[in-house]
Amino acid sequence: MKQSGGGKNYKMKSGHLTLGPILFHWPVETKRDFYFKIADESAVDTVYLGEVICSKRAPFMDPHYDEIADRLKRGGKQVVFSSLAEVMIARERKMTEGLCTLDDYDIEANDTSALFHLRGRPHRVGQYCNVYNEETLLHLCEKGAYHFALPAELPRESLVELGKSAKALGITLEVQVTGRVGLALSARCYHARAHDRVKDNCQFVCEQDPDGMPLKTLSGQSFLCVNGIQTLSYNYLNLIPQIPELYTMGITNFRISPHLQHTDRLITIARDVLSGIMSSNEAALNVQSILVDTPCFNGFYHGKPGYEWIDSSFS
C-alpha cells in the first residue's frame, strides 16, 4: 500500500546495502544455510563474515568460511571479514593478527589491535571503534582506512559533519539501519553468569538465545539483550525510512545487522527504498508490521535517548 507524503523518496536509486556479521552463536548448519540463502536470494551488495563477539565460538565456523565466501562471491556479493571487537588474551591476539594477514579479502577492524596490524594497508573500520569526529576520521585515514561503519549512537548532526569530511577525504561511510544495536562489551560473559557458569566453562549456553537473551527491569519492562559478553538493545533500530536522507549526507552504505527472524524481509524493504520503488512512509509502516512483537527505536539519530521512537513524517 502506498502512503501519501513520501513521493520524493522514490527518486533514490543509489547506495549499497550491506549485511553485518552475525553477532550470535547459531548452530553451524544454521549459519551456513543462512549465508547460502543470502548468496542465492538476497539483494545485499556486501556481506561481513567472521566472529566479532567471542573467540571461543570461532572454531565452529572457521572450517566453513572458504565455502561460504566462495558461494557469496558466486552470488555477486563482496565479502569482508570482521575482526573481534574485544581482544584480551594471547589466543585472541594471535587470531586477530592472523585475520589481518589475509590478502584475498577486505578486513574490517573492530578493535585497536586489528588497527595495529592493518596500519599502512587499505582496510575498513567497524562500528565498535569510536569514530565520533572528523579528527579521528582523518587520523585513521592516514593509517590506511578507507571505509568506516560508524557507531550507531551518533546523532544526525554528527553524521552530517562526518559525511562532509568523508567526501573531502575520498572515503566511504556506512551506517546501521536496522537490527539490535551493540551498546557495550565486558570482560565477563553475562550469558554464562546467568546460568551459574564461568566464562571458561560456559558450555556455549548463548546458543540457547539465537537473537540474544532478553532482560527486563524490576517492573517487567523489556530493556536490553545479552549476547555473551555483549549488551545489546532490546528494541530494533529502524533507520530504513531515513536511508534517502542519510544518502544526501554522504552515507553510501547501509547495514542490516542479521537476526534469525525477519532479516530477509527487512533486506527486501531496505532494497526497495534504495531502488527508489518504496517511499520512506511506506517503509516505516512495513517495518513496524514485521516487528510487531519488538519495538523500534531511532532516538540516537534524533539526538534523544536512544531507546525512544521519534515518529517522523516524510514529504
User: Which cell is 218 given?
Assistant: 524490576
| CB contact at 8 A, 270 and 254 | yes
Q: Which fold has domain 7-181+234-297?
A: TIM Barrel (3.20.20)
Task: List the one residue out of 298, 296, 294, 244 whose CA is nearest residue 272.
Answer: 244
Buried b (16+ CB within 10 A) or exposed e, 269-305: bbbbbbeeebbbbbbbebbeebbeebbbbbbbbeeee
Return per-residue pLDDT of the chain as tens, 315 residues: 233 333 343 455 578 999 999 999 999 999 999 999 999 999 999 999 999 999 999 999 999 999 999 999 999 999 999 999 999 999 999 999 999 999 889 999 999 999 999 999 999 999 999 999 999 999 999 999 999 999 999 999 999 999 999 999 999 999 999 999 999 999 889 888 888 888 888 888 899 999 999 999 999 888 899 999 999 999 999 999 999 999 999 999 999 999 998 999 999 999 999 999 999 999 999 998 999 888 999 999 999 999 999 887 654
Whole-number Cα distances in Å, 112 to 32, 93, 166:
29, 11, 21
**pLDDT one-digit tens code per residue, 237-278:** 999 999 999 999 999 999 999 999 899 999 999 999 999 999
As a whole number of angstroms, the distance between CA 111 and CA 23 comes to: 15
| DSSP single-letter state for residue 13 | -
Distance CA 235, CA 238 (A): 9
Provide the CA 6 distance to its chain's centre, in angstroms: 26
At residue 96, φ and ψ (nearest 5 deg) are: -70, -45
